Structure 1
């Protein structure tokens, strides 16, 4: 995408025993289709390259809209700051079969998109998971795209600007940008409608993986080099979890309510506002809330507490020195001064924070997906037993007992 002032900044490589591959999948080219980035254990491939962290300039435009700054100016700034960073995974590398992989569906936050949580998703893949990071089409992503059939007048131009070479020539790329709240508009109806659509998109992504696992041929609109047939009989469909950040945390809870195939959920600094109160008693799966120290407030914690249960494990920890943006990759890609100015960094070293998050997440998944791994070595983290963790919440006016 361009030059960068990286100064040794970068997304940390995954720490598990497997090399990590990634590829993009779009089923049904319309806005109603499924779009996700897949992370998976891969064979090491000398020819494979790491993909750009920001896939195209339209995502910079979307981030500018979300942050309410000028697109032209912001494209230059974002390209300078972030344009040359790569995701720590090999694009379209061959899948490595080694037993059946548990499955995670990942949901991004408000104003984000499918590539921004690669430090978490790649770590899960390196530990043997297949992870589908959904790009939501509910107008909560800063940007996303789909395709429409070309009009007759457009068919003469076989190489339209902005349309990737991998797309079928009869299709025209269409961009969907973040929809800001209108003046005087009530927020809850919009966010509640969005969280329901997001959960449906997570379930559709899971359904697509189940088809692939069954050997049903799939057609990828994006025509990547990855061989989807290699995923046949590769997934452990008894071991499926939902993970998400912020709005994605609410999406996790909505998804658990909607689909019992999700055996547990992990909500990273969840924004609970979009959810109907009535769904809380209907969620039957274990949930793990991993919070930042600077984002949460009493009203949000009280909604998490509505999920407390004597019969179903509900856990909460807070990572000291973290901010809301300590979970997406941005936190690794800015220096200390600008990172704190833009609230992308807290006081804690970002790599220490993400390691705590990932290890606690893996321990919880082992416990509730009944995995035969060694992630239980990190079980104490689930109960906040680390100098950089708080058991429950730091919101002192409402100490949570979960």
Structure 2
């Protein structure tokens, strides 16, 4: 299968390597608009709900770039977990990931020329991956941006948090562990420096400088390829999880980034001295797209994202008063958006690409979601594109080439409701042709579940809070095979970090309301705020996790109001998208987001 983006442009890619000094380098992948005629193959227009089609073999490029990434993912999920059972499962996972990753094709063209009809200068987005991620784990989002006329540089961080990173010169470094609290924030400092270095590199390539140690793959000449093509007035940063925290820390201190998008950020990774926790030193608007699961209280009545820190970030980003005014905030404001039913992994490639093929395994590895994965990634891309169009000073030429549009009237809401009803009734998933051997499950699923249960019993729910040492029952770091070196004394293993992305196994996490008339958001604690009231069909759902005071001296404000839009008003708002620029977040953007995504898909939407 080939996944194709929706924009008017084909997507070109090039691997980037920059050996800065001895032992220091920058790696990543460049996504950019390419001529539409170089698309992988001619095909009928894809449905927005299912943007892939069957095509001839070997069309496009494989999703998995190198087998080292499969090995890195295995090391991430089984980091510091030893024993025969874990070794067997790791090798099974590496083999499965390699097979599926090579078979899954992406509609991208390595080394393609820049599209001649693209804007002369391209807005730039620098993307930061999450824990255990890499340069291609967010190919759907990055390629969607490129197909709409953006230039995207996905950085592969060299702080040990990537599942695997290819260093300049060809050396590979696999996942190195999360580390204790001090090590976690130290990684974020490295990540912020790498994001700044990535912008410095793009500035140099725009000038046409021949930067020592810089190479682009597929024979592209680095000094000439992007000469004069980067719009340095329109630079944004985006990232997921660890990368969301990285993005927020970056834009709070570097004014060269005009806009920021944090996808389900893990706030514990923000270093304590960051302006993101006190007062933004910039006027950069911030969009936080937090998952549903990480914005409802877990079994410990806490938000998995870090509720108290999230409130500090919102307070620090608040636009209030004038610059230099005593006690006034000078940030560009922020929007907190949460899509109903979304999980921490809604924003990565796993669910949309492999959710239907290996849903049973993804669920056992903690990579599943209640929301239809294709719908979830589409809603996320729409929110991201809308926010960028509002808060980057795009030229008319740059706006004219963008073809993104909000979700059509059709949605996967009915299918999700049917799935919820089946789950509530205890119905088993449909079986395969040999399901008579394993009623309700099927032979392969039954055997797979049996092996997983036998070799990898499910661990207890992990409490993702900083400090306090490892959870009970965890062994201390064991000597590594090479020279007896000690592996990092992690707070958690990779498997437990993945499990933290799940909704709590405790019922305290509550149901996942996909329609506001059916369920209320659970009441939060002081950090989470108070849940709102469910509206009627067609209005906003609850707006929980927002009622607490947002910082010293800040006033308590309502979590957010239900947004009822008439068909006429919704059509008016949708027709006006991608037509204006705002230097700061405005309260009216809540209504616009409801019009774009549909209120039935919004769990939280508020601005500060």
Note closer, same or farther for the CA distance 1:235–1:181 as it changes in structure 2 (3 Å cut): closer
Q: CA RMSD in A?
A: 2.4
Matched residue SS, 2:61: coil
Q: 1:55 aligns with which of 57, 61, 65?
A: 65
Matched residue SS, 1:387: helix
Please give the residue correspondences for 1:307-318 in structure 2 after superposition, counting only pairs within 5 Å. Answer: 307=313, 308=315, 309-311=318-320, 312-318=332-338
Further displaced range: 242-251 or 211-220? 211-220
Matched residue SS, 2:192: helix
Note closer, same or farther for the CA distance 1:47–1:346 as it changes in structure 2 (3 Å cut): closer
8 Å CA contact 1:323, 1:346 repeated in 2: yes
Distance in structure 1 (CA, Å) of the matches to 2:238 and 2:262: 6
1:263-307 Cα deviation digits (max 9, x unpaired): 111000000001134422134311110011113454513312212
Please give the residue correspondences for 1:254-333 in structure 2 after superposition, counting only pairs within 5 Å. Answer: 254-278=249-273, 279-280=275-276, 281-284=279-282, 285-296=284-295, 297=297, 298=302, 300-307=306-313, 308=315, 309-311=318-320, 312-332=332-352, 333=354
> What's the TM-score once normalised by structure 2's chain length?
0.55
Q: Does 1:134 align with 2:155?
A: yes
Q: 2:390 aligns with which of 342, 355, 367?
A: 367
8 Å CA contact 1:22, 1:92 repeated in 2: yes
8 Å CA contact 1:22, 1:39 repeated in 2: yes
Q: 1:33 aligns with which of 2, 21, 25?
A: 25
Which residue number corresponds to residue 141 of structure 2?
120
8 Å CA contact 1:316, 1:382 repeated in 2: no
Which residue number corresponds to residue 17 of structure 1?
8
Matched residue SS, 2:600: coil
Further displaced range: 355-364 or 88-97? 88-97
Matched residue SS, 1:210: helix
8 Å CA contact 2:161, 2:178 repeated in 1: no
8 Å CA contact 1:292, 1:318 repeated in 2: yes
Q: Which has the larger radius of gyration?
A: 2
Which residue number corresponds to residue 163 of structure 1?
none
- What 5-or-longer segments of structure 1 have no aligned partner? 1-7, 148-170, 393-399
Q: Does 1:387 align with 2:580?
A: no
Distance in structure 2 (CA, Å) of the matches to 1:323 and 1:386: 18
Which residue number corresponds to residue 341 of structure 1?
364
Distance in structure 1 (CA, Å) of the matches to 2:29 and 2:391: 25
CA deviation after TM superposition for structure 1 residue 87, in Å? 2.6
8 Å CA contact 2:235, 2:392 repeated in 1: yes
8 Å CA contact 2:71, 2:94 repeated in 1: yes
CA deviation after TM superposition for structure 1 residue 337, in Å? 3.4
Distance in structure 2 (CA, Å) of the matches to 1:264 and 1:124: 15
Please give the residue correspondences for 1:176-195 in structure 2 after superposition, counting only pairs within 5 Å. Answer: 176-181=173-178, 187-195=180-188
Distance in structure 1 (CA, Å) of the matches to 2:132 and 2:148: 28
Further displaced range: 194-203 or 273-282? 273-282
Which residue number corresponds to residue 240 of structure 1?
235
Distance in structure 2 (CA, Å) of the matches to 1:91 and 1:74: 27
Distance in structure 2 (CA, Å) of the matches to 1:131 and 1:251: 17
Further displaced range: 227-236 or 245-254? 227-236
CA deviation after TM superposition for structure 1 residue 386, in Å? 2.6
CA deviation after TM superposition for structure 1 residue 214, in Å? 0.7
Matched residue SS, 1:35: strand
Q: Does 1:253 align with 2:248?
A: yes
CA deviation after TM superposition for structure 1 residue 349, in Å? 1.6
Matched residue SS, 1:28: strand
Which residue number corresponds to residue 325 of structure 2?
none
